[in-house]
């Protein structure tokens, strides 16, 4: 299980979640993408309705039938557990339960999928702590700026303070190598973050078109630099998981 997570918004988290899930599915994996963000951008990109039948509470309590809430997408091998505004209730619901691992919630369907990817809201909360305790790694997109690096350090401090042994795999998004600061930060990242992923996602208008096309890049612009970068990034992640 992997999570796309960032404390900071506007770093390409949802675009990365959708594109990496699509690349994993294209590589033959059976993938479930769970949209945990109440803004439901992943759900929008994949043309699903932002609603969980019966409510989030029934899902957390193990009373919802997954075949009633999981949606097939237009991408072969990729299913979606859509977001809902009621996802805001997750913090409260998880805080009430001692067994608050998302792994437990997903246990009934884990054998149905090779990979589960979580698209998380940009916050530090009970939900995020449950994510940190459940996933095999956090994929953290960062824009090559000082403020984005600062949020990455804040995340590391948060995990250290609570002694949560969750691997953090940062990767660069929205990169513009024409900018001196971007180049300097990209070059300095390996020393500061040895677990960083080496492939960089460029800043590209085609990524913004995902909102119009409502599809991952490989579905409508597979030969673009951004689509190829996501393909290489997924291959690197798959090697680590193996």
For residues 195 and 138, is the Cβ–Cβ distance under 8 A? no
Strand partners, 138: 3, 168
Instruction: Give the pairing type, strands 78-81 and 31-35.
Output: parallel
Q: Quote the Cα angle for 102-7-12, to 5°.
A: 95
Q: Which domains does the chain show, CATH number per domain?
A: 2-241 (3.40.50.300)
Buried/exposed 205-237: b ≥16 CB within 10 Å, e otherwise = eebebbeeebbbbbbebeebebbebbbebbeeb
Burial (CB count within 10 angstroms: exposed 0-12, middle 13-18, buried 19+), residue 189: buried
Please report where in the chains the tokens 């691992």 appear, as a residue: 101
Per-residue model confidence as pLDDT tens digits over 117-173? 999 998 888 888 889 988 999 999 999 999 999 999 999 999 999 999 999 999 999
Distance CA 173, CA 190 (A): 15
Per-residue model confidence as pLDDT tens digits over 175-219? 998 899 999 999 988 888 999 999 999 999 999 999 999 999 999
Indicate if the pLDDT at residue 14 is higher than 70. yes
Burial (CB count within 10 angstroms: exposed 0-12, middle 13-18, buried 19+), residue 191: exposed
The token pair that represents 26 in the structure block: 């294209």
Q: What is the pTM of this model?
A: 0.93
């Amino acid at each position: 299980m992997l999570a796309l997570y960032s404390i900071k918004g506007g770093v390409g988290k949802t675009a990365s979640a959708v594109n990496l899930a699509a690349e994993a599915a294209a590589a033959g994996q059976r993938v479930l993408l769970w949209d945990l963000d109440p803004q439901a951008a992943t759900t929008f990109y994949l043309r699903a309705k932002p609603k969980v039948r019966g409510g989030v509470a029934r899902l957390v309590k193990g009373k919802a039938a997954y075949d009633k809430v999981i949606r097939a997408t237009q991408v072969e091998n990729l299913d979606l557990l859509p977001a809902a505004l009621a996802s805001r209730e997750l913090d409260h619901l998880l805080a009430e339960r001692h067994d608050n691992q998302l792994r437990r919630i997903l246990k009934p369907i884990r054998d149905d999928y090779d990979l589960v990817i979580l698209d998380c809201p940009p916050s530090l909360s009970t939900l995020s702590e449950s994510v940190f305790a459940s996933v095999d790694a956090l994929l953290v997109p960062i824009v090559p700026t000082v403020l984005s690096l600062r949020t990455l350090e804040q995340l590391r401090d948060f995990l250290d303070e609570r002694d949560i042994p969750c691997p953090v795999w940062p990767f660069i998004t929205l990169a513009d190598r024409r900018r001196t600061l971007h180049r300097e930060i990209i070059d300095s990242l390996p020393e500061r973050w040895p677990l960083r992923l080496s492939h960089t996602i460029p800043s590209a208008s085609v990524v913004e078109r995902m909102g119009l096309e409502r599809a991952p890049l490989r579905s409508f612009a597979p030969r673009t630099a951004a689509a190829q970068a996501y393909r290489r990034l997924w291959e690197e992640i798959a090697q680590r998981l193996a």
